[in-house]
């Protein structure tokens, strides 16, 4: 009762209702909200602070930027969405806020398109070396069935493609990446796809600011070949998996294309199965048979592993990782 009353009191002010409407449409910075509302930053920040304290908004930092969005937890998020749904569509001030928000979204989209244009050539060159992404995505979906996954984490989300694929199938999906440019692209893509249950964060894959055992599935898609410490990244992914949760890693099998290292910052020229399975085993995961998708000349490998439930393995029984290397 106290939380409900606190939320209602916090929302009972015109500017704060306007902020709720805007944050329901996506993740916005203080400067963007200030531009839309036409108010001073200190005033907007004060309103945002009250809404966050009441549990109606979530606040998160991305480098030097701070973003706000409608709360994701049960009670605060439900109340915020209920209040937004009660706002009149024909209110002139709210309509103007929506128009200004669309302008900001268009600007974001233009910046994202410019980034893609500047970098598309190198991505197209790499993709031409292996099979079509659609085949990789289909294999991924076969390894992560729709049932049983409520919360999904995509490590190194890049443009947010994995969130676009799996977002409609899960209750909550979170993508993390260190690149602010990539996150800007992902944010545009998620807004375009209207995936309100998906969010993105700037974060370090070696030290995730996420509680343990909080996700049913984790994806690491074409990320490890950039990593200095791939084993540590897998260990962090395993840490946030719930018992019974699944990790799927997509990357290249060993190859000798040195230009990927010199021209595209690849630190590793692919991974052997026993290496990846070993990291999974060290992280407490049971590996499954490896899937391979041959290309020319690069082969894509998909390694899946699961965190065993306490009752799944008997004392002294070997992990599946010990037999996973039999797959060829």
DSSP 207-229: S--S-TT-EEEEEEES-GGG-S-
Q: Which residue has the tokens 């990244």?
A: 233
pTM of the model: 0.72
> DSSP characters for 112-140?
HHHHHHHHHHHHHHHHTTS--HHHHHHHH
Tens digit of each residue's pLDDT, the chain (328 residues): 788 888 899 999 999 999 999 999 888 889 999 999 999 999 999 999 999 999 999 997 755 678 898 887 767 888 999 999 999 999 999 999 999 999 988 887 787 667 556 765 676 677 778 889 899 999 999 999 878 899 999 999 988 999 999 999 999 999 999 888 888 889 989 999 999 899 999 899 999 999 999 999 999 999 999 888 899 999 999 999 999 999 999 999 999 898 888 887 888 889 999 999 999 999 999 999 999 999 989 999 999 999 988 765 444 444 433 333 333 3
Estimate the share of the chain in helix, then strand, then coil, as percent rounded to the nearest 5.
50, 20, 35
Is the preceding omega at residue 23 within 30 degrees of 0, hence cis? no
* Burial status of residue 73 (CB atoms within 10 A of its CB: 0-12, 13-18, 19 or more): exposed
Backbone torsions φ then ψ of 222, nearest 5 degrees: 50, 50
Q: Domains of the chain (ranges plus CATH)?
A: 2-100 (1.10.10.10), 129-324 (3.40.50.150)
């Amino acid at each position: 009762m106290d939380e409900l009353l606190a939320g209602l009191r916090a929302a009972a002010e015109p500017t704060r209702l306007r902020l709720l409407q805007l944050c329901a449409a996506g993740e916005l910075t203080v400067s963007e909200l200030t531009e839309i509302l036409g108010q001073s930053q200190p005033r907007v920040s004060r309103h945002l602070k009250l809404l966050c304290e009441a549990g109606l908004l979530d606040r998160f930092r991305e480098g030097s930027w701070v973003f706000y969005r409608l709360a994701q937890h049960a009670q605060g998020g439900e109340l915020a969405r209920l209040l937004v749904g009660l706002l009149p569509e024909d209110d002139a001030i709210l309509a103007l806020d929506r128009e200004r928000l669309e302008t900001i979204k268009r600007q974001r989209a233009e910046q994202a398109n410019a980034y893609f244009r500047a970098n598309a050539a190198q991505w197209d060159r790499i993709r031409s070396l292996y099979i079509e992404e659609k085949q990789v995505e289909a294999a991924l979906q076969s390894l992560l069935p729709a049932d049983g996954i409520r919360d999904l984490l995509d490590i190194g989300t890049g443009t947010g493609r994995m969130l676009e694929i799996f977002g409609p199938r899960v209750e909550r999906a979170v993508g993390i990446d260190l690149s602010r440019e990539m996150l800007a692209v992902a944010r545009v893509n998620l807004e375009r796809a209207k995936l309100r249950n998906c969010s993105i964060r700037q974060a370090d894959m070696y030290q995730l600011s996420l509680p343990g055992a909080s996700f049913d599935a984790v994806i690491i898609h074409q990320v490890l070949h950039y990593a200095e410490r791939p084993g540590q990244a897998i260990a962090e992914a395993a840490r946030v998996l719930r018992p019974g949760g699944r990790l799927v890693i997509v990357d290249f099998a060993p190859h000798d294309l040195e230009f990927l290292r010199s021209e595209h910052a690849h630190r590793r020229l692919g991974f052997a199965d026993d290496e990846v399975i070993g990291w999974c085993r060290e992280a407490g995961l049971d590996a499954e048979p490896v899937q391979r998708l041959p290309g020319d000349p690069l082969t894509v490998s998909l390694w899946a592993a699961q965190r065993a439930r306490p009752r799944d393995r008997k004392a002294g029984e070997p992990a599946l990782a010990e037999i996973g290397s039999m797959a060829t």
